[in-house]
Each structure stands twice: as C-alpha cells, then as structure tokens.
A and B are shown apart, each in its own frame.
Chain A
Amino acid sequence: MFNLIRMYIYRLVRMKSFYFILIILAFMNVTMPILAKDPTMQEIDEQIEQNREGETHNDTVGMSVIVHSEGDGNYTFYQLFVAPLTALMYTLFIGIFTVIFATADFSTGDIKNFGGSLNHRYYMPVAKAVTIGLYTVFFFLFAAVTSIGGIWISGGKVLFRDMGNTCAFLGVQLLLHVAFAVTIMACCQIIRSNLLSMILTCCISMNVMNVLYNLISRFLDFIGIKDVKVYRYVLSGRIADYTLEKTNITGSTIVIAVIFITVSLVASGWWTTKHDLV
C-alpha cells in the first residue's frame, strides 16, 4: 500500500488542477486584505451589514465569507482562518480537487494499468484517502502562508494571539476537512461519475444540502423524534459551527469526523473489492 501512496502522490503533484486551485487560493488570500481597504468595498460591506441587522435568522444557501479584523488592516491569526473555514470556502476548494483527483484514474483508464495487480483492492481507496489527507494538510499550510503574506503585502499585521487555542481549533478543522475529503473520495469511488461527485461537493459546500437536512429534521420531528438537527451531525454543519467560542463541542466534533472517515473507508473499500474495476 505504501507504494500505491507514493504513486498517488507522484500523480497528485503533476496535476494541473493541483496548481490552479492553489493559485486561485493565493490570489484570493493576497487580494482580500488589499480590497478590504478599498473605500468602495467598505461601502458594500457596510450595506450588507445594515441589510442583515433587521433579519431575525439567517439561512444561508450559497457562500458568504466575511473576515473580521482588529482594525487598521490588522488581523489575528484566528481571524484569517475562521471566516473562510466556517463559510466552507476552503471546503469547496478541497472538495473540487478531491473529485478531480479521485476520479482521474477511472476517467483516464489508468485503473486498468494497476488495478488488477493489487493484492487487495481496498488498498486503493485507503491509499487515496491518505494522499488526499496529505493534500488537505498542505492546503491548510499554504492557506496560512498566503494569508499571512497577503496581510503583509497590504501593510497590515498578523497578531499571533492565543495560539494554543487557535492551533487546537485549526487541528479540529483540519480533521473535519480531511474527513470531508475522504468522504467525497469515497463517493467518487462508489459513484464513479465526476459530474455527480462534483455536484454533490458543490451542494454540500454551498449549503444547498441544508435544505435536505432541514427536511429530514422536520420529518423526524413529525414522527416524534424531537430536537434532532441533522445539520449538527454532518461534516459541513460541524465545519460551519465549530469556532473558538464553541470548544465545548470539540469531543463530539472529533467523534463525528472519525465516524465519517471510518464509514467512508469501509464503504469504499467494500465497494471497490466487490465490483468490477472496468
């Protein structure tokens, strides 16, 4: 299996999409602080805030990334991350790349070159999961570097306050994102359609699936199972919900992430073993 992981990593770093997504991420992280200082953008932000003041609740379908600052172009390290993470922006990027990566060997036919020679077919989804997990870690590191670089370029400062708790927060978010990537990988392995997998990824990341979660919650409520909010038990819900202010749910969040990883690996391993590769 280690050889398989090496092959996947070799392939990963030679994919165009690997660099495209990082370039887009870097561009956004570098330009965001510069645009934040633009008077026109500040007017727009103030208008958005005013529109929200009268609302009693927010049901977001789509994506809204609002980064709060300490003023004067200064941000804490936590502030740089919490907005794009909880808005599922990084989730979307990671999900898109995961779909492209995980379906490539089927769509190109490369699976024929090595799939039949594997001693155990379940090595394949496990090796992919490890690879995509490593990519997620790299993505986080890259996001941190480019975010800090963007602040520096705009003339602001990054304040490294409360780093212990911030790192713990990032660790849990990283685990959630790895779980998300592994789950998407498993879906790709089972569905074997990059179109459907991409649609699923976008629906989850853009909160469209919240509609479904709400429906299920209401159905459960209807049949007498009260106070079960499905949104709280799925990865996108936890990613959006988990902040420094909610560290009381750290334990359950980690458990949910581990459950998703385990179920995804078992399901995709079983499916890959039992079904024809071509």
Chain B
Amino acid sequence: MSEYILQTHDLRKVYGHQAAVDGIDLKVERGAIYGLIGKNGAGKTTTLKMIGGLAAPTSGSFTLLGKSGSELAEVRGRVSCLIEDPGLYGNMTAYQNLRAKCLCYGIKDKEYANELLVRVGLGNVGRKKTKNFSLGMRQRLGIAMAMVGEPDLLVLDEPINGLDPEGIVEIRDMLTQFSKEKGVTILISSHILEELSKVATHYGIMSKGRLVEQMSAEELADRCSLRIEATVDRPELASTVLERLGITNYKVVNKTDLCIMERLEDVAVINREFVEAGLSVSRIVVNNESLESFFLNATDDGKEG
C-alpha cells in the first residue's frame, strides 16, 4: 500500500483564460492532517473541489487511494468533503439534513445521525430548522455531514470559519481525535494559521495557483525556528562577509534584511565583522519567524514552486 493516500500530477484547472490551479504536485500521506495554506484566490478551493470530485481537472491527474483515471469511480465513496459554506436545506432540521446524507450512503441506523450531531456539539438543537442556525452551527453541521460514512479522506475547506474560540478548540480536538481513532486522512485549508499549526502534520503553501512549498510540521518548525535577523545597508557585502566566516545557511530576504540560521551564539562576532567590513548595521537580533511572516515570505510575488 502506498504511503500516500493522494498524489496529484501536474494538476491544472483553467477557467476561460485564467489558470486557477496551475500544475500542482501534491502528496498527502495516509493518516496525515494536511494543511493547505494560501491567500484568497490562490487556488485552494479549486484544488479541493477537484480532489473532492466536484470539478474535473483541465489537465493532469491524481491518484487517490491507489486508483487513478477511470478507476477513481471505485473509491469516490471513500472521500467526503465540505467545500465553502455547507449546503443545507433551510426547511429541514439538522437531523433531517444529516439523515438524508446517511440514506445516500446506505446508513440505515437512525441513531447514527444523532451520534454525529452530539460529536459536533449540536446534540441539543432539537427541531430547529437550519435556516435559523448561526454560521457556527451551520459549519458544525457541515463537518458532521462530511463525517458521514467515516471516509478515508476528509476534504475540508476552511471548516472553522465563523466559529467562536471555544468552537474552534472543539472542532480542532474532534478532527485530531477522528484522525487518530479512525485513521482518517484530513486535507484542510484555512487562513487561521495559528489554529492550523495546532492540528496539521503537513503543510502545502499555494500561491497564484501553484504549490510553492510542501513540508512536514517538523520542517516548518525548523524553518520558523530561532535565527539571527539583521538589517544592513548592503546585503550583497554582508553575504560576502558571511561566506568568509564559513556561514552558508542564510537568506537575503529583501534589499536590507538577512536571516542567518546557524551559529546563533556568534551574533556579536557577526555584528563586529559587518561593522569592520564597512556595513551600516541598523538592527541585529536573535529571533524566530512567526507563521504569518513565513507564510507571507513564501507567497511573495517572486516565489514560485
């Protein structure tokens, strides 16, 4: 059995002349909680729609549960998704909406829907029609509907939108537990990076329809770990100084800023060498990179995967 439950191969989706998804090669390991990050319009939702079977790729392919091409029909039932806002019938109750989906999956046990409602925190909504639900309640119900049939791959597009902090914690814990207990692989997109970082085991960063980076949570932690941040007037000269000191693990961020990821204990030495080389050092500090900063740098205009 492949270690990857999902692999995409140069997946593209073009609307008119606009490539919403422009050749991505995604790899999602079995049992992972894969966080897909990107700005608005990066192509996350379109990617998830293709994986969820709601839209067909313009070109490229993907392998899902070991199947691809025409064989994908065999495994479609093992993928469930919540894309954008949940589609609910306003005149039906939460139970009825859920029960309808249960029937579609051949689940006859009437208590199954009630158990799912309790699991997502909607056990006490009674006969309230979903048209009277708050946004958070609708999102919870949408997640419950995505869980029907205990799919092998759960595709969630911004599932914690509209939830209060308590709700976010509950959903986060529920997804983690669901993944651990049932071995479900979760592909989740979100803008709330801090929350995503608490559940995701892997990340994919999208920008302008392309997959800029893929990494595990450990790799992300390393990348956001402590480093020396320096602001100088001539980074090209600073690069020369660093090379002379034998430092190779550094990055020129922009016209004035550098990040040095090794020899953090030698910050004073580095500072002295910069000054002796004639550089004007306006700032040098040992710091770590926030997720937001990492994400913004990764999705900068000049960056492509």
A interface residue numbers (CB < 8 A to B): 3-4, 6-7, 10-11, 14-16, 104-105, 108-120, 276-278
- Whether a CB of chain A sits under 8 angstroms from the CB of B285 is no
- Please, could you name 13 A-B residue pairs with CB atoms under 8 Å apart, sorted by A? A15-B91, A104-B89, A109-B85, A109-B87, A110-B88, A112-B52, A112-B86, A113-B86, A113-B145, A116-B54, A117-B77, A119-B76, A278-B49
- Whether a CB of chain A sits under 8 angstroms from the CB of B90 is yes
A114 touches B54 (CB 8 A): no
B101 touches A113 (CB 8 A): yes
CA distance A118 to B77 in the complex (A): 6
- Whether a CB of chain A sits under 8 angstroms from the CB of B136 is no
Q: How far is the CB of A116 from chain B (nearest CB, A)?
A: 3
A115 touches B53 (CB 8 A): yes
A112 touches B100 (CB 8 A): no
A108 touches B80 (CB 8 A): no
CA distance A14 to B89 in the complex (A): 10
CA distance A277 to B74 in the complex (A): 19
Beyond A10-B103, A114-B104, A118-B53: 15 further Cβ-contacts under 8 Å? Answer: A3-B104, A3-B105, A11-B100, A104-B89, A105-B87, A109-B84, A109-B85, A112-B86, A114-B101, A116-B76, A117-B80, A117-B151, A119-B73, A277-B55, A278-B83
B79, B84, B85: the one contacting A116 at CB < 8 Å is: B79
A113 touches B79 (CB 8 A): no
Residues of A within 8 A of B149 (CB): 117
User: Which parts of B57-101 form the interface with A (CB within 8 Å)?
Assistant: 73-74, 76-77, 79-92, 96, 99-101
Residues of A within 8 A of B55 (CB): 276-278
CA distance A276 to B45 in the complex (A): 14
Q: A120-B73, A276-B54 are in contact. Are A112 and B87 (CB under 8 A)?
A: yes
CA distance A119 to B72 in the complex (A): 8
Residues of B within 8 A of A114 (CB): 101, 104
Q: A11-B89, A15-B91, A110-B88 are in contact. Are A115 and B99 (CB under 8 A)?
A: no
- Whether a CB of chain A sits under 8 angstroms from the CB of B106 is yes
Residues of B within 8 A of A104 (CB): 89
CA distance A114 to B82 in the complex (A): 10
B74 touches A117 (CB 8 A): no
Q: How far is the CB of A79 from chain B (nearest CB, A)?
A: 38
- Whether a CB of chain A sits under 8 angstroms from the CB of B56 is yes
Q: How far is the CB of A77 from chain B (nearest CB, A)?
A: 36
Q: How far is the CB of A118 from chain B (nearest CB, A)?
A: 6
A110 touches B74 (CB 8 A): no
Residues of B within 8 A of A276 (CB): 49, 54-56
Residues of B within 8 A of A110 (CB): 87-89
CA distance A104 to B82 in the complex (A): 18
Residue ID in chain B nearest A115 by CB atoms: B54
B81 touches A7 (CB 8 A): no
CA distance A159 to B293 in the complex (A): 84
CA distance A108 to B149 in the complex (A): 22
B76, B83, B92: the one contacting A118 at CB < 8 Å is: B76
B87 touches A7 (CB 8 A): no
Q: How far is the CB of A15 from chain B (nearest CB, A)?
A: 7
B145 touches A10 (CB 8 A): no
B76 touches A117 (CB 8 A): yes
CA distance A3 to B104 in the complex (A): 5
Q: How far is the CB of B161 from chain A (nearest CB, A)?
A: 15
A7 touches B54 (CB 8 A): no
Residues of A within 8 A of B104 (CB): 3-4, 6-7, 114, 117
3 shortest interchain CB distances as A-B pairs: A109-B87, A116-B53, A110-B87
A109 touches B86 (CB 8 A): yes
Residue ID in chain B nearest A278 by CB atoms: B54
Q: How far is the CB of B102 from chain A (nearest CB, A)?
A: 9
